[in-house]
Amino acid sequence: MDFNIALLVSAHVAFFIMLGSFAVYSRRVYSVRDRVSSSTFRALVFFGLTSFFLGLIILVAAYTDSLTAQRYWILFFMMALINSLVHIATEQKRIHYVSYAITIILIIAQIIVTTLIPSEASPILVTFLAVTMVLVIIGSIWTFSSSPGPFAGGLLIFETTFLIFWYLATSGILYTNVQSFLFVFLPVVMATALLGSLLRPPRTIITLFIGVYSLVVTSGLAFASILSNEYTITIYVLVANIPVFASILSIDFFAEQMSTTHATVPTYITVTLVTISLTIIFTCVDWAFAIQEMITLEPLSWFEVILGVIAASAFIMSGVATLTQKGHRYIRRLLLANIAVFSLLGNDFIRNGRWDFDLLGIIIFAEVSVGLLAYGRTALRLRRLGAKKAARNFVAFNIASILLGLVILISFYLPLVVIVSIMILGAGALVLSSPRRFRYSRSSQNR
Amino acid sequence: MDYFLALQISMIVSSIIMAISLGIFVQSLRRTSHRLSSATKRALVLFGLAAVVYQLSISLSVVNLMLSRVLFSFGPLLLDLSLFEIIFESRATRLKAIATFLAFYFVSLVLIALDPTGPFKYFSMVIIVGTLFLLIIRLHMVSPSPFTYSSFGIAVTTVPLYFTVMYGFILAEPHFFPSAMLGLAFIAAILASMLKPWRMIPSLFLIYFGTILAIPIIIAAVISGDAGIYIFVFFAYMVSLALVLPFEYFVAEAVHTHTRTPLYIAVTLFSIGLLVETHWTNWAYSYNTSPAVGLPWNSILFMNIHGTWDQTMIFFDWILGFIAVSVFMLAALSTTYSERVTEPVTDVLILIGVPLALLMNPWINAGRYDSSVLYLPMIILILIAAAAYTRLAWRLVKMGHGKVALRFVIFIVGTISAGLVSMFSDRMPFIMDPVLQTIAIVMLMFSAPGNPVRRFIRILRGTDLDQTEAV
């Protein structure tokens, strides 16, 4: 299977989903034009432009590794981003004009440089862009700390993922290790989620992110594997993403609970579901690679270990929620230390080929069994209180989700038939025991 | 310097300390015996016997390892019996429980006798220590008390004692003798503070552990004439004793006021005390590998004594140091911020600290990178804490508590210089070490209120503590 084709297809899918999201976003921004101040409106417009140019950057990066092809798009992207931030940060017209002037000067400088030296990027401009990026990140941290909200947080994640992408693209890792295309789509999918969640409850960011990310990665892998007649990969990738979509309903429900009640249990369940979905998406790429080369991708496996440990820890935390606050705190600290240890021990540099991921997997299994015990205790208590159906649904739902995560982690050792049947059964269990029925389009309206 | 000699002397020193503690224990038992029930009395006597057996078995390990191995299992066994006495109140059930336990024990002994190298090798030890843990958990669930905590501490130290001493690891690598002395000092501290307020245990533990580690090394170094070792260890020993004064004060504050700041400061002082004590053992080890070994005292004063450190001991020192620094920072933060700030900060410190601690491990490192890079985050934490403390002292001065602020600053400077010697003792001229240590001693002695000498004697005798908190 050719990962370059997967990258190309995924980039197009991501770009077109982004365009659709952009269209929805423009309509919504236009509809609220009279209700918001002019500087907020301009900030929104600039943010839309940022996302659009980001989509273009990713699309161009999929075609060529030449950085000269990117110079306009990067400049436009940066300028739109910093203008958006300036408009969020301050209402003062003078500062707005200064940032417009800088933008225009830079664009003119870029045009001049491009005409004089058509074949290479100007180092001064590149340095200037790097400085701008640092300023943008400092600015968004400031925005986040002065008015924390889902949008400001999303913006921070968006910039961090963009930095990852930029590192991958400029260092050439993206073109030598094409499997890392997984990380390339993080910023554009984040941008899509942010665009699509305007005027919607903030939890839409999470659900849209998981859904679009799964769609983007799956489409690329499925298309490329069909082209090369490797249908096992196609089946695996398509089937493995059914539970991801099945869990979106539940993520929506629990994220709503999280934002309305501020309770801890829905938060932990949301974390479990999100990390398991991400694990499934990561494993798809790792599996597709491993099935051809008969080796696992070590950096990707490292991320899988981290995500798996986080999922297992959040699972335990939601299971022990009935304990006292003090016991809860001790367990949380223990699990944090545990996450830190496993994130370190799973690293390739630290491992140095001395121990295997299987060892870490066993410990994740042990952790999950502790969580299962805790769940048994909670279920017994619910039963005793008389809520039999609630107890059954609660336990069935959580166990289905965590077992899916485990199956996906050990999928290297299972035959395809078993994986497919478990995935479909698990997705069915998730949907049937989910607290939310198929009312997704309506439920997202009532915020 | 001969480490095996130090090991042998430490066995004698620890025996003397255990004998003194036993004397204190017997005295307080006799004084309060009219208030105790017969079961409690029997349990306490069995506990004392267990302590004696632990001490004897470990002291004998330098003479005859097989004999000490046979003796060793009787220590936890006696502890088991002591706990049985407390848990089962009716005589019949107790006898039944003890009979069942002993039956299991003899079966395991028979199995070991039949097949000494087979899979049952550790079976009797597993039965004894496992029963010990079960009994402690049972007792803790019924009535949690300092006694259950200290028994738990002894049970936890039994396992490393068994594997380090009884399998000859200490005899082969005598510079690891602190790992054997840790358990003995802990048992002696518990014994001496039995039937007295529990907060004597950590103070006495620091004093005992320091004494057991310092005196053997000083004697062995004097015999071999290594001035760098005995000067350094003597001053460091004084630092560790001086640390006990403010430590005891802050523990008392934490117990009386139930606030977080004194508790955090007490934890800081305790880990710095332990750090200083294990550090001088490692210093003596590294001095032996440095070019200064064998030189007279006047020629090493301005030398940078830079030897090869034992990486495993550095790993443990690093963990202690990181705990000290992070809790030091938390203490600074908890003076001005509520739990809503310190809780997430604690979480973040755990997330940063655990990988940092692991990266220092010699096995993880495997000689691939220079560990001194890891000191950078440590220094950043120290700077944050120092800034927070300066702000606090400044506010105290503004509010008109100049004397309190002065005492506070003195205490912080003393703590930091004690920590600095432990971190950078080989990066500066040797003369700087005793100077910094003297500063630390003076500062620490005058940071706690009251006459330091009288206070120290009171800690040792346990007389200034009110008896209502007694176990």
pLDDT tens digits, one per residue of B289-299: 888 887 887 78
Tell me what pLDDT residue B214 has: 93
Any chain B CB within 8 A of the CB of A135?
Answer: no
Contact state of A340 with B350 under an 8 Å Cβ cutoff? yes
Q: How far is A175 from chain B (nearest CA, A)?
A: 29
Please enumerate, as own/partner, the contacts of A126-131 that have beta carbons within 8 Å and a separation of 24 or more: A129/A74, A129/A75, A129/A78
Q: What is the spatial distance between Cα B343 and Cα B353, in angstroms, rounded to a whole number?
A: 15
> Cα dist. B401→A75, B392, B405 in Å?
57, 11, 6
- A222 by Cβ neighbours in 10 Å (0-12 / 13-18 / 19+) ranks as buried
Evaluate whether B39 touches B87 at the Cβ level (below 8 Å).
no
Q: What is the spatial distance between Cα B400 and Cα B17, in angstroms, rounded to a whole number?
A: 46
Q: How many CA atoms lie within 13 A of B336 on its CB side?
A: 14
Evaluate whether A196 touches A204 at the Cβ level (below 8 Å).
yes
Q: What is the spatial distance between Cα B139 and Cα A162, in angstroms, rounded to a whole number?
A: 56
Any chain A CB within 8 A of the CB of B359?
Answer: yes
Print pLDDT tens along chain B (471 aa). Answer: 888 899 999 999 999 999 999 999 998 888 888 888 888 888 889 999 999 999 999 988 888 888 888 888 888 889 888 888 888 888 888 888 889 888 988 888 888 888 777 777 778 888 888 888 988 888 888 888 888 888 888 888 888 888 888 788 888 888 888 888 888 999 999 998 887 888 888 999 999 999 999 999 999 999 988 888 899 999 999 999 988 888 888 888 888 888 888 899 899 999 999 999 999 998 888 888 888 887 887 788 888 888 888 888 889 988 998 899 899 888 888 887 888 888 889 999 999 899 988 888 888 888 888 877 888 888 888 888 888 888 888 888 888 777 777 877 888 888 888 887 877 787 888 888 888 889 888 888 877 666 667 767 776 666 544 443 433
Nearest to B44 by CA among B30, B58, B55: B30
Q: Given phi > 0 = left and psi -120 to 50 = alpha, else beta, which region is A168?
A: alpha
Tell me what pLDDT residue A442 has: 45
Contact state of B347 with A332 under an 8 Å Cβ cutoff? yes
A-proximal residues of B, 239-268, CB under 8 Å: none
Q: How far is B65 from chain A (nearest CA, A)?
A: 35
Print pLDDT tens along chain A (447 aa). Answer: 788 888 899 999 999 999 999 999 999 999 988 888 888 888 889 989 999 999 999 898 888 877 777 888 888 988 898 888 888 888 888 988 998 998 898 889 888 888 887 777 677 777 877 888 888 888 888 888 887 777 788 888 888 888 888 888 878 788 877 778 888 888 999 999 989 888 888 888 899 999 999 999 999 999 999 998 888 889 989 998 888 988 888 888 888 888 888 888 888 888 989 999 999 998 888 888 877 766 666 677 888 888 888 988 998 888 887 777 788 888 899 999 999 988 888 888 888 878 777 777 777 888 888 888 888 887 787 778 777 777 777 777 777 888 888 888 777 778 888 888 888 888 888 888 777 665 544 444 443
Any chain B CB within 8 A of the CB of A339?
Answer: yes
Tell me what pLDDT residue A445 has: 42
Any chain A CB within 8 A of the CB of B366?
Answer: yes
Q: What is the spatial distance between Cα B423 and Cα B426, in angstroms, rounded to a whole number?
A: 8
The dihedrals phi and psi of B357, each to the nearest 5 degrees, come to: -65, -45
**Residues of chain A positioned with their CB less than 8 A from the CB of B368:** 352
Q: How far is B277 from chain A (nearest CA, A)?
A: 27
Any chain A CB within 8 A of the CB of B348?
Answer: no
Q: How far is A341 from chain B (nearest CA, A)?
A: 6
**Residues of chain B positioned with their CB less than 8 A from the CB of A344:** 354-355, 358-359, 364
Q: Is the ipTM here above 0.95?
A: no
Q: What is the spatial distance between Cα B188 and Cα B40, in angstroms, rounded to a whole number?
A: 19
Local structure of residue A436 (DSSP, 8 states):
S
Tell me what pLDDT residue B235 has: 92
pLDDT tens digit sequence for A3-38: 888 889 999 999 999 999 999 999 999 998 888 888
Q: What is the spatial distance between Cα B160 and Cα B154, in angstroms, rounded to a whole number?
A: 11
Any chain B CB within 8 A of the CB of A334?
Answer: no
Evaluate whether B52 touches B15 at the Cβ level (below 8 Å).
no
Tell me what pLDDT residue B249 has: 83
Neighbours of A35 (CB within 10 A): 8
**Residues of chain B positioned with their CB less than 8 A from the CB of A341:** 354-355, 358
Any chain A CB within 8 A of the CB of B346?
Answer: yes
pTM for the complete prediction? 0.82
The dihedrals phi and psi of B306, each to the nearest 5 degrees, come to: -125, 95
Nearest-by-Cβ selection for B354 from A332, A341, A352: A341
Any chain A CB within 8 A of the CB of B141?
Answer: no
Nearest-by-Cβ selection for A352 from B355, B359, B366: B366
Any chain A CB within 8 A of the CB of B354?
Answer: yes
Helix (H) or strand (E) holding B410: helix B402-424
Local structure of residue A202 (DSSP, 8 states):
T
Q: What is the spatial distance between Cα A290 and Cα A1, in angstroms, rounded to a whole number?
A: 11
B-proximal residues of A, 344-363, CB under 8 Å: 344-345, 350, 352, 354
Q: How far is B122 from chain A (nearest CA, A)?
A: 25
Any chain B CB within 8 A of the CB of A343?
Answer: yes
Contact state of B355 with A339 under an 8 Å Cβ cutoff? no
Q: How many CA atoms lie within 13 A of A41 on its CB side?
A: 12
Neighbours of B354 (CB within 10 A): 20
User: Does the CA dihedral A151-A156-A160-A166 come out positive or negative?
Assistant: positive
Tell me what pLDDT residue A297 has: 64
Any chain A CB within 8 A of the CB of B347?
Answer: yes
**Residues of chain A positioned with their CB less than 8 A from the CB of B347:** 332-333, 336
Q: How far is B350 from chain A (nearest CA, A)?
A: 6
**Residues of chain A positioned with their CB less than 8 A from the CB of B351:** 336, 339-340
Any chain B CB within 8 A of the CB of A96?
Answer: no
Q: How far is A314 from chain B (nearest CA, A)?
A: 15
To test the contact with chain A by mutation, choose from B319, B340, B364, B368 the residue with the greatest count of A C-beta atoms within 10 A, namely B364
DSSP A203-270: HHHHHHHHHHHHHHHHHHHHHHHHHTT-HHHHHHHHHHHHHHHHHHHHHHHHHHHHHHH--HHHHHHH
To test the contact with chain B by mutation, choose from A339, A343, A350, A354 the residue with the greatest count of B C-beta atoms within 10 A, namely A350
Q: What is the spatial distance between Cα B373 and Cα B375, in angstroms, rounded to a whole number?
A: 5
Nearest-by-Cβ selection for B354 from A329, A332, A337: A337
- CA of residue B122 relative to chain centroid, distance: 27
> Cα dist. B403→A133, B135, B385, B407 in Å?
49, 50, 21, 6
Q: What is the spatial distance between Cα B201 and Cα B135, in angstroms, rounded to a whole number?
A: 22
Tell me what pLDDT residue B470 has: 39
Query: Which residue do the tokens 């223990």 mark?
Result: A334
Burial code (b: 16+ CB inside 10 Å, e: under 16) for A63-93 equals: eeeebeebbbbbbbbbbbbbbbbbbbbeeee
Return all residues near A276 (Cβ < 8 A) that are at least 6 apart: A247, A307, A311, A401, A402, A404, A405, A408
Q: What is the spatial distance between Cα A30 and Cα A45, in angstroms, rounded to a whole number?
A: 9
Nearest-by-Cβ selection for A344 from B347, B358, B366: B358
Nearest-by-Cβ selection for A336 from B351, B358, B368: B351
Q: How far is A320 from chain B (nearest CA, A)?
A: 18
Tell me what pLDDT residue A446 has: 42
